């Protein structure tokens, strides 16, 4: 059954639900009287974590939108223990658990779920270089999963046909931390959701997929199982609106659209470059990142040159930011092979592209549009936006425009555009790669990797503001690479 069919069935029940509501104050009435919706969630890179300005994560974004939909404030109760969240929901302290919960038969007997909004597979994970298990009976080492997780339900079901299957549970580690234990060889295996594995492999490329245990498991919000359907009906209506408006597709693209492709060799090389190369140039990215994040600028530079200041291509682009000669001249770059000049020029050019984009493109997606423009050209990007509009899609949504860019390689489409043929598929891969590099940089603690700053270097870039976290040191401690 598709998501749309499930929504239709659920919506058809709303009339019945409204007719059977008791006359006493409902749960929804209490929420609106208090003007607060209490959402429970787990700390997780995919569900909830503290960002620079607000909570970040797919579930937390959905929760913020749902609170606005109800016209109330949002209160997030975060926890590292899923069992505790279940207890708080049953005690009425939490209205909804929004933490990418997998819908299982065991859970359906204890709670009810809203419409599914994403699907994952459950996969056995081991460390690259170890002997790969190919079936359940090959799991001869320590298999550990989080207590109260859906993985316990899955393993319990599998044990019915595999009596020798054994595992350990823990309430000390969440699924992300268990993957780190596999890397550290403290455990041999864990069972992970495919989206969690995909995101963690950006940081730990040696995480390896052994085999898939389940497929197409639905993720959904959980509510207490009682006779009050008032809040439940609003959840159903909200997700139906999110699906029909395309907002859900955009959110899925934002968090998961760029992580599915995984290149083991490339990821290992990037992690090594962060350790060996980035400390030499991080200050230059920071000094030139006014208006954007330095990690975004660094990710772009790695995609272009792998942080090689003397990089060249047969097409004539050169340097850390791989600038063309005309672009370099426009940005005031005299030597493209000079790392300082190249990064400064590339940053100026990127900011010019950002400023040139239509104001209708939302702030959260402008950087991805600018990257596509940096790669394929502004005119071709506008052609792709026009194709999106002609196809009934949203020209201001990156998830829609990225579907149109590959069409610029096909004559039946590009012959009708203003700027003609373009390598649109390459532009999509380009943006996705930079997004993965950026996510990795954000996920890693890089403060300790920042090289000491040369006073002379800072003076030469005196037109740029020095971030407050940077401390200048005497020249004799200089480690910044100069060309």
Annotated active-site positions, please?
A: 304
Rg of the Cα trace of the chain? 25
Residue 476: CB partners within 8 Å, gap ≥ 6?
Answer: none
Instruction: Map residue 77 onto helix, strand or coil.
Output: strand
Q: What is the DSSP letter of 373?
A: H
What region, left, alpha or beta, does residue 325 occupy, with left being phi > 0 and alpha being psi -120 to 50 degrees? alpha
Phi, psi of 307 (to 5 degrees): 55, 40
Of 363, 362, 352, 409, residue with least CA distance to 384: 409
Give yes or no for a contact between 144 and 178, defined as CB atoms under 8 angstroms apart: yes
Q: What is the DSSP letter of 452?
A: P
In 338-473, beta strands by DSSP E: 453-454, 472-473
Tokens of residue 2, six digits: 């598709």
Of 167, 125, 126, residue with least CA distance to 149: 167
Give yes or no for a contact between 379 and 419, defined as CB atoms under 8 angstroms apart: yes
Phi, psi of 432 (to 5 degrees): -60, -40
| Angle ∠(471,477,483) on CA atoms, nearest 5 | 95
Tokens of residue 47, six digits: 């569900």
* End-to-end CA gap in the chain: 61
Of 173, 175, 170, 174, residue with least CA distance to 193: 175
Instruction: Map residue 239 onto helix, strand or coil.
Output: helix
Helices 378-390 & 424-443 angle (0-180, nearest 10):
100
Tokens of residue 207, six digits: 């995480």
- Whose tokens are 């041999």? That residue is 188
């Amino acid at each position: 059954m598709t998501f749309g069919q499930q929504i239709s069935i659920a919506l058809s029940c709303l009339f019945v639900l409204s007719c059977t509501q008791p006359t006493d104050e409902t749960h929804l009435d209490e929420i609106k009287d208090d003007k607060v919706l209490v959402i429970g969630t787990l700390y997780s890179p995919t569900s909830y974590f503290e960002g620079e300005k607000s909570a970040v994560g797919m579930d937390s974004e959905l929760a913020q939108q749902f609170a606005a939909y109800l016209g109330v404030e949002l209160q997030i109760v975060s926890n590292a223990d899923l069992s505790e969240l279940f207890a708080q929901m049953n005690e009425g302290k939490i209205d909804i658990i929004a933490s990418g919960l997998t819908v299982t038969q065991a859970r359906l007997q204890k709670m009810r779920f809203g419409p599914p909004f994403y699907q994952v597979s459950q996969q056995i994970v081991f460390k690259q270089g170890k002997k790969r298990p190919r079936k359940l009976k090959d799991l001869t080492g320590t298999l550990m999963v989080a207590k109260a997780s859906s993985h316990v339900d899955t393993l319990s079901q599998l044990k019915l046909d595999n009596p020798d299957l054994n595992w350990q549970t823990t309430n000390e580690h969440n699924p992300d931390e268990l993957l780190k234990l596999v890397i550290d060889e403290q455990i041999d295996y864990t069972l992970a959701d495919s989206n969690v594995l995909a995101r963690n492999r950006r940081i730990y490329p040696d995480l390896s997929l052994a085999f898939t245990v389940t497929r197409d498991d639905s993720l959904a919000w959980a509510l207490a199982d009682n006779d009050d359907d008032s809040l439940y009906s609003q959840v159903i209506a909200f997700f139906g609106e999110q699906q029909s408006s395309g907002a859900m597709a955009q959110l899925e693209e934002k968090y998961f659209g760029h992580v599915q492709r995984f290149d083991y060799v490339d990821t290992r090389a990037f992690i090594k470059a962060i350790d060996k190369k980035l400390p030499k140039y991080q200050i230059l990215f920071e000094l030139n990142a006014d208006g954007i994040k330095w990690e975004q600028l660094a990710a772009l530079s790695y995609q272009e040159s792998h942080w090689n200041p003397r990089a060249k291509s047969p097409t004539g682009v050169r340097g850390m930011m791989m600038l063309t000669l005309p672009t370099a001249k426009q940005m005031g770059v005299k030597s493209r092979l000079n790392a300082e000049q190249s990064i400064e020029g590339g940053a100026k050019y990127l900011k010019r592209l950002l400023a040139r984009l239509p104001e209708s493109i939302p702030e959260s997606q402008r950087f991805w549009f600018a990257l596509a423009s940096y790669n394929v050209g502004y005119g071709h990007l506008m052609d792709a936006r026009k194709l999106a509009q002609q196809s009934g899609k949203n020209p201001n949504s990156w998830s829609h425009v990225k579907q149109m860019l590959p069409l610029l390689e096909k004559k039946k489409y590009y012959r009708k555009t203003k700027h003609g043929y373009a390598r649109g598929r390459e532009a999509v891969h380009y943006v996705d790669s930079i997004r993965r590099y950026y996510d990795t940089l954000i996920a890693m603690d890089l403060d300790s990797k920042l090289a000491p700053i040369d006073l002379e270097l800072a003076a030469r870039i005196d037109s740029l503001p020095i971030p407050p976290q940077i401390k200048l040191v005497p020249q004799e401690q200089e480690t910044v690479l100069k060309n």
